[in-house]
Structure 1
Amino acid sequence: MPEENTFFLAVKDYCHRDLITCHIEDRIVDAAIVMREKSISSIIACDDKGEPVGIMTDRDLRIKVVAGRVDPEKSVVREVMTSPVLSVKEEDTLFEVLYQMSRHRIHRLGVVDEKNRLIGIINESDIIRLQNRSPQKLLRSIDEAEDIPALKEIHDHMKELIAFLRGNGVSTRDLVRLISLLNDQMALRLIEILQNSQFPDLPEKCAYLVLGSEGRREQTLKTDQDNAIIYADDLSATDIAKLKNFSQVLIDSLIEIGVPECPGGIMAKNEFWRRNISDWKDAIDGWIATPSGENILNFSMFSDMRTLWGDTSLEQELRKHVIQRASENGIFLAHMAANVCLFPPPLGLFGRIKPEKSGPHVGKIDLKKSGIFAITEGVKTLALEAGILEGSTTEKLQVLLKQEVLNAKQVGDLEAAFNLLTFFRLRSQIASAASGRDPDNYLAPSSLNRVERGRLKVALEVVQSFQGSLSSHFQLQMLRR
């Protein structure tokens, strides 16, 4: 969004609503201690009825208390606070905030609702931070980060940026691509920091791969680590030991920054996901030869590989091996398709959406399990059969269209369903993050309006139809289990 448009955003979306208060008869020193403990530059002073009647700021402490030689142990907040609290309405724009701050030469304002009740505070620094909410500035901050704590701070700001951009009309597709770009740059900058500080002589013939949704560049706010390392067969024992130490420090540093570890252990610090290229080929052959649920998961995750750092020729060699083995093993691809069909969308009688009836997610559906997984994995399976390995789900769909594996209507329906499910997923995750909850993949259909529920139902019907097509295409009724 153009920077000038920032000034016409509504105050209600950017003010602080967690008001920290004190009593007007509290000692100044006690109120100041609260300000220090809460890391705030002002505190609201209330009367006996709990009504806010004034505000004491750090400027008041400097000018009225310290310079004015007021004893903070004996004097009370009422004596130095500013009253009344100057305010704007929550529906006002940030332009009005800047105008009032300039007019009264102050750095913060109260925010009131339609009944003139104080509901929040907005500071001058909030607007400055808002003007800095751009992908370019965040990417520049990543490039300039000097250590892991700096990257962690930037990672914490990423959710705020994504929420801000979504609230200002940026498309879900662009947000997903941005999330992947930021995560890529974060990991690359971390590797640079580690190389400069601890690992200056890493071997050249190795590569750090990102897998799964990160490999496809389809991440949302709920993302954990899925990665691996490949290295050349002729690497020395010393170099292999260096890679082991590097991978352990790298993954632990990503966790420290705020990228959760993979619950399934799909991380380069685990030996299973760190091999030379010949061992990787053997592992792929073994997964294909025995299409168990775990082997299908491992193969599927690995087939989304993308080199983030290192020698890309190693990845290219493995890609050729994966494509060749997949093309030779139609039975394995059929098992992959069957695995996709194990998760039918939650549609009941007359196509009604069926949320979970018990457990921690009662009344909700798992958007990933209910549809996103079927689309990404089903498209991937068809793409492998057609000799396609790289690219996002949307990119693979376009290639499948050109090769006439799918027709234009199927591709259009699948793209629309995938985009809608991803939109609901990301919107729900942003809302969870804003309310202090961990983002997840769940959505309550009851939270949607009538039109949105109708669109969700159609998207799930598309998934259901796609699973039927996969079953027919791979003749799953003939598959022995």
Structure 2
Amino acid sequence: MAEDNQFFRAVRDFCQRDVVTCAPGDSLVDAVGIMRSKNISSIVVISDGKPHGIFTDRDLRNKVVAQGRTPTELTVADIMHSPLTVIGEDDVLYEALYRMSRQKIHRLVVVDDAGLLTGIITDTDILRLQAHSPHQLVLDIEKAASIDDLRDLHARIQQLVLHLSGTGIAIRDLVKLIANLNDQVLIRLIGLLRAERYPDLTDGFAFVVMGSEGRSEQTLSTDQDNAIVYDDALGGDEIARLEAFSVELIDCLISIGVPPCPGGIMAKNAAWRRSLADWKQTLNRWLTTPTPEHVMTGSMFMDLRTLYGRDDLVQNLRDQAFRTMSEDQGFLMRMAQNMTNFLPPLNWLGRIKVEKSGPHRGMVDIKKAGIFAITDGIKALAIEARKLDGSTHDRMEALVAAKVLKAGDAADLRASFDFMVKLRLRGHVEALRAEATPTNYISLELLNAMEKGELKLALEGVARFQSFIKHHFNLQLLRN
């Protein structure tokens, strides 16, 4: 178990501190001489005191030798790789692994909060830690050769999470692990389908995920929320092939074990597969006529994240949304009002209220009790401040930096959010172990006295946050 937890320790504990550097204008021949004398395969390029690029022996082979260029006429800047992919020294090791795997690179430059070089970490450093680990699972996903392989790997992800739950891993890291592994499965599935069935498929599209998946906040029972945005210039035949691909992709995803969206929010359905222009019209309709249905749909859509393909299409769409909501705050106000309608289940004595009858008697829907209010309240603030990237945690940090939230208030809210997500994930794990269907309900009877007290404090924190949102967005001005 301790070996598993290695992957949730800080990169600073594993990176190499002795990093050889050079300047962009240094002679290529001199840089290669240093690499040979020190028996290293890369040099970090420093400009204005900060990491600017990296030069590797692969760059020498591919950009100089293979192209017949004259080394004596070149500087490091002529062939280095830039911009540089870096990682913070306080980020966890699994995040380093994920970035290397996603970007198909073998090393990351490590920086401090000021962006200054502090070390370097390679995939070999990580491989030394453990052969059977989240890292091995990522490698197996990358090598998956069939849908059956991915089905087995999806089951292994669930087993890994069952194994890691309760080990003391921070809930933020565990949830991100689930999201990252699920990303990898979906990306590999797209690659397999394109290679085997759709080699002629256009590149003019983006496959996006939304909701909790878009925020990288998935738990074990999260269903699908995805869509496709495609280039306006695509022809009829290209669109037809994209439609066939979308249907097969989602059907395969379901067969692997990822639950379908009950509301049909999946790229296989025409309503969630549109051209950029069509999506702009649709999004504009949601944002300018904030009916309850449009608010719920539009809010979920604003979590969109490009998982595969043309991110410029998605950024174009998001930029329009920002412009529209900056001109008219009606949608944001209705979105904020909606999250305040999900009152924490506390009675006038401050005690936690539970379901009185039915199949969930004695239980609390932890998502409706507080998780939804926090994610959507933070999302509304982030949209207004144009700080929408990343998870709810990332957005909170950005809002503190932008002085929208006080650091202390954000810390309290983050603690409330993490505790409720932890209870939700624990409930999912317990359900799977009992071979039952996971839900968002938790039983108060299964919480000890300390956990009940912490849940009460978390729900009180949600209520305070809702009061803040009401004041911030002047919801008293809205007519019901």
**Equivalence for 1:165:** 164
CA distance 1:417–1:233, change in 2 (3 Å): same
SS in 2 for 1:446: helix
**Equivalence for 1:337:** 336
CA distance 1:193–1:451, change in 2 (3 Å): same
SS in 2 for 1:350: coil
Aligned counterparts of 2:185 and 2:265: Cα–Cα separation in 1: 19
- Pair 1:321-2:325 in alignment: no
CA displacement 1:408-450 (0-9 Å, x = unmatched): 2210111010111111111111111111111111111121111
**Equivalence for 2:479:** 480
Aligned counterparts of 2:452 and 2:206: Cα–Cα separation in 1: 44
SS in 2 for 1:228: strand
SS in 2 for 1:351: coil
Q: CA deviation at 1:167?
A: 3.4
SS in 2 for 1:138: helix
Aligned counterparts of 1:241 and 1:149: Cα–Cα separation in 2: 27
Aligned counterparts of 2:294 and 2:142: Cα–Cα separation in 1: 38
Aligned counterparts of 1:404 and 1:3: Cα–Cα separation in 2: 39
SS in 2 for 1:234: coil
Q: CA deviation at 1:389?
A: 2.2
Q: Is 2:325–2:331's contact at 8 Å kept on the other side of the alignment?
A: yes
CA displacement 1:18-57 (0-9 Å, x = unmatched): xxxxxxxxxxxxxxxxxxxxxxxxxxxxxxxxxxxxxxxx
CA displacement 1:236-295 (0-9 Å, x = unmatched): 000000110010000000000000110111111111111111111111110012111211
Q: Is 2:208–2:226's contact at 8 Å kept on the other side of the alignment?
A: yes
Aligned counterparts of 1:267 and 1:160: Cα–Cα separation in 2: 26
Q: Is 1:222–1:441's contact at 8 Å kept on the other side of the alignment?
A: no
Q: Is 1:227–1:266's contact at 8 Å kept on the other side of the alignment?
A: yes
Q: Is 1:338–1:471's contact at 8 Å kept on the other side of the alignment?
A: yes
- Pair 1:247-2:246 in alignment: yes
Matches within 5 A, 1:65-464: 134-464=133-463
Q: Is 2:5–2:169's contact at 8 Å kept on the other side of the alignment?
A: no
Aligned counterparts of 1:341 and 1:5: Cα–Cα separation in 2: 38
CA distance 1:468–1:187, change in 2 (3 Å): same
**Equivalence for 2:12:** none
Q: CA deviation at 1:168?
A: 2.7
Q: Is 2:336–2:473's contact at 8 Å kept on the other side of the alignment?
A: yes
Aligned counterparts of 2:437 and 2:131: Cα–Cα separation in 1: 25
Aligned counterparts of 1:295 and 1:4: Cα–Cα separation in 2: 43
Matches within 5 A, 1:10-89: none
Aligned counterparts of 2:181 and 2:4: Cα–Cα separation in 1: 24
**Equivalence for 2:469:** 470
SS in 2 for 1:313: helix
Count of residues paired in the alignment: 357
SS in 1 for 2:470: helix
Aligned counterparts of 2:241 and 2:424: Cα–Cα separation in 1: 39
Q: CA deviation at 1:163?
A: 1.4
Q: Which amino acid aligns with 1:332?
A: F
SS in 2 for 1:209: strand
Q: CA deviation at 1:322?
A: 1.3
Aligned counterparts of 1:5 and 1:271: Cα–Cα separation in 2: 43
Aligned counterparts of 1:242 and 1:436: Cα–Cα separation in 2: 39
SS in 2 for 1:275: strand
Aligned counterparts of 1:477 and 1:381: Cα–Cα separation in 2: 17
**In terms of mean alpha carbon deviation, does 133-142 or 239-248 score higher?**
133-142
Aligned counterparts of 1:326 and 1:388: Cα–Cα separation in 2: 14
Q: Which amino acid aligns with 1:438?
A: T
Aligned counterparts of 2:144 and 2:138: Cα–Cα separation in 1: 10
CA distance 1:402–1:179, change in 2 (3 Å): same
CA distance 1:444–1:402, change in 2 (3 Å): same
Q: Which amino acid aligns with 1:221?
A: L
Q: CA deviation at 1:4?
A: 9.8
Aligned counterparts of 2:4 and 2:202: Cα–Cα separation in 1: 48
Structure 2 unaligned regions, length at least 5: 7-129
Aligned counterparts of 2:427 and 2:466: Cα–Cα separation in 1: 25
Structure 1 unaligned regions, length at least 5: 7-130
SS in 2 for 1:349: coil
SS in 1 for 2:228: strand
Aligned counterparts of 2:188 and 2:360: Cα–Cα separation in 1: 37
Q: CA deviation at 1:2?
A: 4.5
Q: Is 2:4–2:133's contact at 8 Å kept on the other side of the alignment?
A: no
Q: Is 1:323–1:388's contact at 8 Å kept on the other side of the alignment?
A: no
SS in 2 for 1:167: coil
Q: Is 1:380–1:396's contact at 8 Å kept on the other side of the alignment?
A: yes
Q: Is 2:231–2:276's contact at 8 Å kept on the other side of the alignment?
A: yes
TM-score, normalization by structure 2: 0.72
Aligned counterparts of 2:275 and 2:4: Cα–Cα separation in 1: 52
CA distance 1:412–1:150, change in 2 (3 Å): same
Q: Is 1:432–1:438's contact at 8 Å kept on the other side of the alignment?
A: yes
Aligned counterparts of 2:286 and 2:349: Cα–Cα separation in 1: 40
Aligned counterparts of 2:5 and 2:422: Cα–Cα separation in 1: 24
SS in 1 for 2:268: coil
Aligned counterparts of 1:400 and 1:257: Cα–Cα separation in 2: 38
Aligned counterparts of 2:450 and 2:166: Cα–Cα separation in 1: 20
Q: Is 1:208–1:307's contact at 8 Å kept on the other side of the alignment?
A: yes
